[in-house]
Amino acid sequence: MRPIRIAFVVALGLVPLAAVAQQQRAAIASSDVLSQISMFNYQGKSSLELRPTPIVSTGGGQVDVDYKDGNARIEVTVKDLPPPSKLGPYTTYVLWALTPDGRAANQGVLGDIEGGKAKLDTQYSVSQFALIVTAEPHFAVTAPSNMIVLYNVPSKVRATESKVTSLTERSDYSRLAPIAVSKTKPPEVVGRILGCDRGRGWC
């Protein structure tokens, strides 16, 4: 499974070689970060800040949450994020909603390989959750990485507050490394690793 994931990322040209060397020096967010994250049971309109963890020297954002009729509308703006490749084998940032039972739901992508600023409007049909932003190798991840870069803190909140205690599943990409791809025949090499079969017409 590990070679497939690696090949997928390399095939898209998303993992700079320099990132692999840099990721060895990057700090991985520990469980201590989770214990600092507040979870809110929303009622009506609230505003939050997104505060950077020690992993990034810059970055931050604002969040507006409007909960009514069993649905939360979430509007997020972030700025000054470093290029995700500077943190390791990552290409983008993803917003996650964390629920009391330790699950995390991918709410969408914030930014691209250049970092900087981004906006995201999304909806979530749960009243109680926390928000974090993580660096990820691609947009379609189903569990947050250990690389938490931003987390929510209250600003003007109409909600009861508790603390995040755990996540049932997290991904560690610290060992992710590129594979050698032939410049003469990269599609065939990558295709075989990914399980593609050009003879069947679906690759």
pTM above 0.85, yes or no: no
Q: Which domain holds residue 46?
A: 2-162
Domain count, the chain: 1
Tell me whether residue 69 is in a domain: yes
CATH assignment of the domain containing 107? 2.60.40
Domain-embedded: residue 75: yes
Residue 178 lies in a domain: no
Query: Domain for residue 196, yes or no?
Result: no
For 136-163, what is each residue's pLDDT tens digit? 999 999 999 989 999 999 989 888 888 8
Looking up tokens 């990820």 gives 136
Q: Does residue 181 belong to any structural domain of this protein?
A: no
State the greatest distance between any 2 C-alpha atoms of the chain, in Å, as a whole number. 59
Band of residue 184 on the pLDDT scale cut at 50, 70, 90: low
pLDDT of residue 25: 34
With respect to residue 180, please indicate whether it lies within any of the assigned structural domains: no
Does some domain include residue 199?
A: no
149 sits in the region (left: phi over 0; alpha: psi -120 to 50; else beta) called: alpha
Domain membership flag for residue 188: no
